[in-house]
Amino acid sequence: MTERTLIKDLSALPDGPVTVSGWVETVRDQKKVQFVVLRDESGALQLVNPRSVDDQGVVLADEPATTISALTQGSFVTATGELKHDERVKLGGIEVKLDSLTVATLANPETPIAADSGIDKRMDWRFLDLRVPRNALIFRIQTTLEHAFRTYWIERDYVEIHTPKLMASPSESNAELFKLDYFDTTAYLAQSPQFFKQMAQSAGFGKIFDIGPVFRADPSFTSRHATEYTGVDAEISWIDSHEDVMRMQEELIVAGFSAVAAKHGAEIRELFDVEIVVPSIPFPRIPLLEAKDIVAARGHVVDRNDDDLDPEGERQIAAYVAETFGHEFVFLTDYPASIRPFYHMRNDEDTSLTKSYDLVYRGTEITTGAQREHRVDILEAQAVEKGLDPHELDYYLDFFRFGVPPHGGFGMGLARVLMLMLHQGNLREVTYLFRGPTRLQP
């Protein structure tokens, strides 16, 4: 097998023979010389092939000229030739003078998408859309971000678990639930790893994290919703309040953003015109009722019958935090029990409130977190209060009947973080293969 060199590594090599492989971005087939812009996963390179002529000045049909003349955009090829450093070459100051060119696969001549194609059309041809350097960079950023999250947790002795996505009963409620046949019974796709994260606390794991798919049968067509997405979840034992969870999460965010800024900051500035801001700690914290008053003072009144902020309210509180604290993140705390799950612990002094929070980043909620109720009698009572049958929750309540420490955690949408980090307007842009109410392909 011929040793292949990535294009990004060529500039550090001396002039001499090299072999590169990638796909054809453009071809300029001129009378005296041919130019091919070759791109691989690391960058782009100019290939040069001076045309051969006979004594009468007639261009000869020899190789690799004949092969180059037949190339189509997107064809995958391997090129061997002489690397030359030349400051006059606009594309990286290097080029390769061709000795040979081998076609691995020839692409169809008509490309189905263009730079100005709409997002739905681009999603139909996502594998071509991802050849665009800007789009491909998103998933290198995602890799770095996830690696930094894992590194933060592993260095602090967290255990990674992989919770099942097939469940015998709903994970939180009967809403937004996908059902499927499972042999002679019915199974459900997990809306959340919540119950199994809590089981790990009863098992004595102490601190855990789980990065995996989450399914929501939500018919929303907004730019920030999907029916399948990657959830980033953590749960920790022996906490005093949800403040311990928030402190861990803000440290995690800083670790992730620091890694992205260090590795990809320059590319993100070039391709997205975005500066990655590593947030300072602690993040601002504002109780929800106070946040509503702040938003109202800015001219946007949230319906008092609505216990949560609407999207415009989230944008307004984020604008206030940016103006007042110079920060892109804010924890909204003390959510009403009426809109929180039964397993959120209630406030000791005001049981109408929960020890929970939402994390809002650049005007959009990316996380819900809380201290969980670990006392089984109170947990059962809160389930009944929510209209749930404790008998249907027996397998979950068993975790608590045999002892569980005080604990809490959060769930965060990975794609939302990427979307907001890169100032993108749609979750589809930062999802490898998006799934929504009307999209199951490719």
Cis ω for the linkage preceding 442 (within 30 of 0)? yes
Instruction: Give the residue among 141, 160, 349 at the shortest CA–CA distance from 259.
Output: 141
Three-state secondary structure string covering 365-396: EEEEEEEECCCHHHHHHHHHHCCCCHHHHHHH
H/E run at residue 262: helix 242-272
Instruction: Give the residue among 406, 432, 407 at the shortest CA–CA distance from 418.
Output: 432
415 is in an annotated binding site: yes
Instruction: Give the residue among 342, 350, 259, 358 at the shortest CA–CA distance from 308.
Output: 358
In a 10 Å sphere around its CB, with 0-12 CB exposed, 13-18 middle and 19+ buried, how is residue 56 labelled?
exposed
26 is in an annotated binding site: no
**b/e string for 224-235 if b means 16 or more Cβ within 10 A?**
bbbbbbbbbbbb
In a 10 Å sphere around its CB, with 0-12 CB exposed, 13-18 middle and 19+ buried, how is residue 103 labelled?
middle
Distance CA 77, CA 60 (A): 22
DSSP code string of 208-260 = EEEEEEEE------STT--SEEEEEEEEEES-SSHHHHHHHHHHHHHHHHHHH
In a 10 Å sphere around its CB, with 0-12 CB exposed, 13-18 middle and 19+ buried, how is residue 157 labelled?
exposed
Distance of CA 198 to the CA centre of its chain: 24
Distances (CA, A) of 19 to 14, 66, 71: 14, 20, 18
Angle at 321 between CA 318 and CA 324, to 5 degrees: 150
172 is in an annotated binding site: yes
271 is in an annotated binding site: no
* CB neighbourhood size of 202 (10 A): 18
252 is in an annotated binding site: no
Q: Reduced to 3 DSSP states, what percent helix, strand and coil does the chain have, rounded to the nearest 5? A: 35, 30, 40
413 is in an annotated binding site: yes
Contact between residue 349 and residue 341 where contact means Cβ atoms under 8 Å apart: no
Distance of CA 119 to the CA centre of its chain: 18
365 is in an annotated binding site: yes
369 φ, ψ (degrees, to nearest 5):
-140, 165
Sheet containing strand 185-189, edge to edge, reads 166-167, 185-189, 179-182
Distance CA 442, CA 431 (A): 13
Positions at the binding site for ATP: 365, 413-416
Known binding residues are 172, 216, 365, 368, 372, 413-416
**Known binding residues for L-aspartate:** 172, 216, 368, 372
